[in-house]
């Protein structure tokens, strides 16, 4: 049994990305709750940062909660994982309107290059997700250096941390899949398989 922490990105007044009436925060929560159930059914202990849309703690409060739990309660978290969906758009200089880059799609895990354990976790998840015929972007992995910015979830927390971008809402086919219950089951099963592959290394 492992001690894990999951996070449904955004929430409450922070909707995250919104595309064609779909709010990222809602997809994130659906996937996180499904992942929690899958992991618990496999015998793992799971703490999650939010179970509903209200209340939804601010990001830095979530990071502080994780660090306090990790430092003060035994045993420590074996890993933490945050689930997100993405959008891709480019600003039209003539109109000032952001237009979707509809061909951009795929799953990838973001991690810190400074953490070998986070690299191993991201790699294990990407391999299992890709093995389930889910399209990968950036070969399934991206460091925050490659991303070009720091992320509080990764750089302000103590346990090995990854942030998963599960797909692009601006790609019509991918958004349709992300909203599909069978696809959600496939995705969370693959993520759980990746987590267990990492734990068994």
Q: Can you give the pLDDT at residue 99? A: 82
Q: What is the mean pLDDT of residues 99-118?
A: 96
- Residue 104 CB partners (closer than 8 Å, separation 6+): 88, 137, 168, 170, 171
pTM: 0.95
Tens of pLDDT, residues 113-155: 999 999 999 999 999 999 999 999 999 999 999 999 999 999 9
- List, in order of start, the domains of the chain with CATH numbers: 3-199 (3.40.630.40)
Average pLDDT over residues 166-179: 98
Task: State residue 34's pLDDT score.
Answer: 99
At CB < 8 A and 24+ separation, what contacts does 63-70 make?
Answer: 63/152, 63/153, 63/156, 63/157, 66/5, 66/157, 66/158, 66/159, 67/156, 67/157, 67/158, 69/5, 70/157, 70/158, 70/159
Span 37-65, pLDDT tens digits: 999 999 999 999 999 998 899 999 999 99
């Amino acid at each position: 049994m492992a001690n894990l922490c999951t996070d449904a990105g955004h929430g409450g007044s922070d909707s995250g990305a919104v595309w064609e009436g779909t709010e990222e925060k809602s997809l994130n929560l659906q996937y996180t709750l499904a992942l929690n159930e899958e992991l618990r059914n496999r015998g793992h202990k799971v703490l999650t940062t939010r179970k509903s849309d209200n209340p939804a703690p601010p990001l830095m409060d979530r990071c502080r909660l994780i660090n306090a739990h990790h430092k003060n309660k035994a045993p420590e978290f074996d890993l933490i994982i945050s689930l997100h969906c993405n959008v891709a758009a480019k600003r039209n200089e003539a109109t000032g309107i952001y237009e979707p880059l509809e061909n951009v799609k795929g799953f990838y895990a973001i991690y810190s290059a400074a953490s070998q354990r986070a690299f191993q976790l991201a790699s294990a998840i990407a391999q299992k997700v890709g093995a389930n015929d889910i399209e990968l972007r950036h070969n399934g992995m991206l460091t925050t250096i490659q991303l070009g910015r720091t992320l509080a979830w990764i750089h302000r927390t103590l346990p090995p941390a990854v942030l998963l971008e599960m797909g692009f809402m601006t790609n019509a086919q991918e958004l349709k899949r992300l909203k599909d219950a069978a696809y959600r089951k496939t995705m969370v099963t693959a993520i759980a398989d990746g987590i267990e592959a990492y734990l068994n290394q």
